[in-house]
Copies of this chain bind each other. A is one copy, B any other.
Amino acid sequence: MTTIITLLALLAFTPDASEPLPSWKDTGSKKAIVAFVNKVNTTGIPEAERIAVFDNDGTLWSEQPMYFQMLFAFDRIAELAPKHPEWKTQEPFASVLKGDVKGALAGGEKALLEMVMATHAGMSTEEFEAIVSAWINTARHPDTGRPFTEMIYAPMLELLRFLRANNFKTFIVSGGGIEFMRVFAEEVYGVPREQVIGSSIKTEYVVQNGKPAIVRLPEMNFLDDKAGKPIAIHQHIGRRPLFAGGNSDGDFQMLEWTTQGKGDRFGLLILHDDAKREWAYSRKSHIGKLDRGLNEAPTRGWTIVSMKDDWNVIFPPK
């Protein structure tokens, strides 16, 4: 009798265990996820091997009208402008200061890099963290007016929790900046800093007046995108994941590497097809383009998650 009461009490306090993924509709996607996790349990896959990796932009939070980290860079350019009078006439900064996003991005990758280096380097890692922290706590999404940390997908938060409840370690493997994401990943996603993997710039260890600092340099160190993702997974985790989730062709190799491992693996691609509740884009989008992934998902056994058809809600309630 005591056992039954204890069991009931446990169930009452762990809704995830009794009814996982409440924000997911009872469609094929949810069924496939639950069946996979059940099989991992029944076949007794060792806990050490239960590694799950997730892209961030477009997979855990939105990425429209552009990557949120670029919005951070724009805000930072405006903030730094008084110290850089030359930016008034120098692209891409001049366009940013005029509020001309298209003009700012017209310079392509070179312009992007210039903006990142001008805003993300030249300070210590602790200073950078304080800058990002101040921004993420006050900035608002241009369309919804919500904090960026509320532009996250409630069903994906549940999925992270469901996997952890089943002894998975959850990692972020994103093209976004590793130090940018670490500022909020622990609080927002429950993913500790050491389980956040991303793109990085070079750093240098400097000791001044006996005080050490790690200083951020204006030079790329690692681009965590496409074939860089399995490389980064191998470098940081050293083990092939069981579960990979992404939303764009930048995640293709991560899913390929994951799902070609021995035994059962799970590949998940989120399809942005809900223009009403989020945004609708895929094959022809400049941000988060998903084309090859859509073509090959069926033969590779990857699960396409439709935001429109598979999710009850998108964002957490206000």
List the interface of chain A (C-beta within 8 A of B): 48, 51, 125, 169, 171, 178-179, 182, 186, 192-196, 200, 203-205, 207, 211-212, 214, 227-228, 230-231, 234-239, 253, 256-257, 260
Contact = CB atoms under 8 A, between A and B. Distances in A.
Given A179-B238, A205-B253, A235-B200, A214 B192 contact: no
Contacts of A238: 178-179, 182, 193-194, 196
> Which among A207, A234, A239 has the highest number of chain B CB atoms within 10 Å?
A234
Nearest to A169: B194
A259 B260 CA distance: 43
Contacts of A125: 234
> Which among A171, A194, A237 has the highest number of chain B CB atoms within 10 Å?
A194
B230 A193 contact: no
A214 B237 contact: no
A91 B205 CA distance: 35
Given A194-B236, A194-B237, A237-B194, A212 B178 contact: no
Given A214-B230, A234-B125, A235-B200, A257 B205 contact: yes
A256 B211 CA distance: 9
> Which among A186, A193, A211, A253 has the highest number of chain B CB atoms within 10 Å?
A193
Nearest to A194: B237
A193 B240 CA distance: 11
B207 A231 contact: no
> Which among A125, A205, A211, A236 has the highest number of chain B CB atoms within 10 Å?
A205
A175 to B, nearest CB: 15
11 contacts: A48-B186, A125-B234, A169-B194, A194-B194, A194-B195, A194-B236, A196-B238, A200-B235, A203-B234, A212-B256, A214-B234
Contacts of A51: 194
A131 B123 CA distance: 43
A55 B289 CA distance: 43
Contacts of A253: 205, 212
A228 to B, nearest CB: 8
A22 B4 CA distance: 41
A171 B182 CA distance: 18
A205 B231 contact: yes
Contact of A48 (B48, B192, B214, B239): B192
A171 B193 CA distance: 14
Contacts of A169: 194
A21 B231 CA distance: 39
A82 B253 CA distance: 37
